Structure 1
Amino acid sequence: MGLIERIFSSVFGNGRNVIVETAQVFRENAEGAAVRQASIQTQSMQQFASEFRVQRQGGFDRFMDALNRLPRPLLAFGTIGLFVVVMSDPVWFSTRMQGISLVPDPLWWLMGAIVSFYFGARHQAHSQDFQRSIAQTLARVPTVVQNTRALQALRSDTPQVAQSAPSAELTLGALAPSDNPALLEWQNSQP
């Protein structure tokens, strides 16, 4: 018993646990990590709370706070508005979308970077061949012009657009029998 007692007292004696201390060299103590994380969160919340303790009394401060709250709802309602416009006037919407297709890629990247930085997102810049994208955009110009002209021709106020009024001539033409050999053969085969 003396030998085992000495081994246990050397490993676990004096409030120590050599096994736990050795394991903590290779693996973080979960309880200690949780305590440190809770301390970090508490400090962060105290810092955030201290920023909002100061009451902003000036009209400019209130105006800027209100202005900072506008972009998200405006973007959301603007997107919903696009769906309403596409249902109410598809030709107008398609014409505008043809124009948007001429915006060069680097400008889209710039707009994406500005919007993503504004909303706090991280945007990674990729090196792109600027001249190639400009050439591709310029190559699309004739197609866009042709599509825009075709869309403008579809407007209901342009001449030579199909009329939806009933036509007696078309109705009689649809009701008149035609020389269809397959139909005649089928009619003759019926008892």
Structure 2
Amino acid sequence: MGMIERVFGFLFGSGGNVIKDTAEVFFENAEAGAARDAQIKQAVMAQFAAEFSAATKPGLFDRLIDALNRLPRPALALGTLGLFVSAMTDPIWFAERMQGIALVPEPLWWLMGAIISFYFGARHQAKSQAFQRSIAETVARTPVVANNLHALNALEEGAAQIEGTTGDNPALEDWRNGA
């Protein structure tokens, strides 16, 4: 008995675990790693909360820039609708304006096209990535949904078996027969 105690005392130490301590030199302790990850996530969320909290209201310049960033899409949409309305209400006025646009040099059209393409292209890229992320989340939920469907089918089969067995219950038979 004394030799076994000494071997276990050597391997696991008195109050410590030599094997565990040695293994942690080569492999990360999962529990400690999870605790560190949780601390990092909490720090990030605290930073985001501080950045977007009501206590740090944006100044006039920030609000002006935010307003300017929101203008291009509505301006382009409303401007296009305005062109259609003006073409229908005053075709001569509209034709005069279009003659002026016909004089715009081609490089300027290319420049305007590039600017609009970059603006809407960046927005499209961001929306596309969000869409891909939502698809990945949906696919990740597929096994859970399949398990739920399997459980529901099992419940339905069990209910069908219960309905099929009437036993000696005349009241249930009368109810099923609509009496």
Which band: TM-score by shorter chain? 0.3 to 0.5
Question: Which has the larger Rg?
Answer: 1
TM-score under structure 1 length normalisation: 0.36
TM normalised by structure 2 equals: 0.38
Structure ranking higher on relative contact order (CA contacts 8 Å, 6+ apart): 1
| Higher helix content, 1 or 2 | 2
